[in-house]
Homo-oligomer: A and B are copies of this chain.
Amino acid sequence: METIFKPIGYIRHNKTKVPKHWTVSDLEGELVINEEYLPGIRDIKIGQRIVVLFHFHKSDTFKEEYLIQNPPHHKGERSVFSICSPLRPNPIGMSILDVLDKEDCLLKVKGIDMYDNTPVFDIKPYTEL
């Protein structure tokens, strides 16, 4: 059973290199929402934390050999569901970003670890554990 997803917006910034993970990122940029989904961000507040699901759109098609990987920031091999590698069976990324500002269809966000132009699938409220 396959499911088709299409972006609700995309990430925009002017860096070519990005931090390895949102937990260590100060990178600021914009989450640009497609006009048709604009009412959907009405209740997002400045200062809030959001969960952003996005497409690892630059990743190779997944192959069996990627089930075990040698991630650059760990020692030794790790199985794919224990790491944040963009090489995954379904290349969906998840980052938690801070909302710094909001204007029309733009959310100014901090903590970016996605490339410029990364398609975004979903935004969810962040829940503290």
Q: Which of the four size classes fits the interface of chain A?
A: 35 or more
- Is A78's CB under 8 angstroms from B43's CB? yes
- Is A79's CB under 8 angstroms from B39's CB? yes
Complex interface bits, A60-104 against B, C-beta within 8 A gives 1, otherwise 0: 000010011000000000111111100011111010100000000
Known: A3-B4, A6-B3, A7-B1. A122 touches B39 (CB 8 A): no
A64 vs chain B, min Cβ distance (A)? 8
Number of copies: 2
Having A36-B64, A41-B82, A81-B125, one finds 19 other A-B pairs with CB under 8 Å, namely A1-B6, A2-B5, A3-B5, A8-B89, A37-B81, A37-B89, A39-B79, A40-B79, A41-B79, A50-B81, A53-B53, A53-B94, A81-B123, A84-B124, A84-B125, A89-B122, A92-B122, A94-B94, A128-B129
A95 vs chain B, min Cβ distance (A)? 10
User: CA A55 – CA B68 in complex, angstroms?
Assistant: 25
